[in-house]
Structure 1
Amino acid sequence: MAEHPGFQDAPIEDGAGDASRSEQIRGILVQVREDVKMGHAHDEAALLRQRLADAGISVSDDEIERYVAHE
């Protein structure tokens, strides 16, 4: 349940909390790529960094670069 009414601050799909760190990052990356593809964002790395921070997943700049370059 969200701590703030009207805000989703946790995964809503069953099993989402059981995903590994890598699976969580890859799932967020898929969402980010769709947002970029649809024109809702232009900087994939910046949006990925923001979404990961929002999810409480800390990543290094090197990790961000690897995910953006190799996926």
Structure 2
Amino acid sequence: MNHPTGLAAQQIGPNDSLNAIVDRVPQALPVLQRLGLDTCCGGALPLQVAVQHHGLDLAQVLAALRAAGAGEP
């Protein structure tokens, strides 16, 4: 891996696919699962699209993913 996980987590963006996020930041998987974001069938979707489909707030989801990657609870 080229970047430490914390740095990779800070670089998560709305156009990253769910699978790409989990590949770069494995700690993101439980967050996505808790939010009901499916990395199996919906894994190729950009985060922004998946969040919109589930009626979630993109800024809050990004913050949760970045916090998980930084080792925050």
Q: TM-score normalized by structure 2?
A: 0.36
Greater per-residue helix proportion = 1
Greater radius of gyration (CA):
1
Higher-RCO chain (CA-CA 8 Å, sequence separation at least 6)? 2
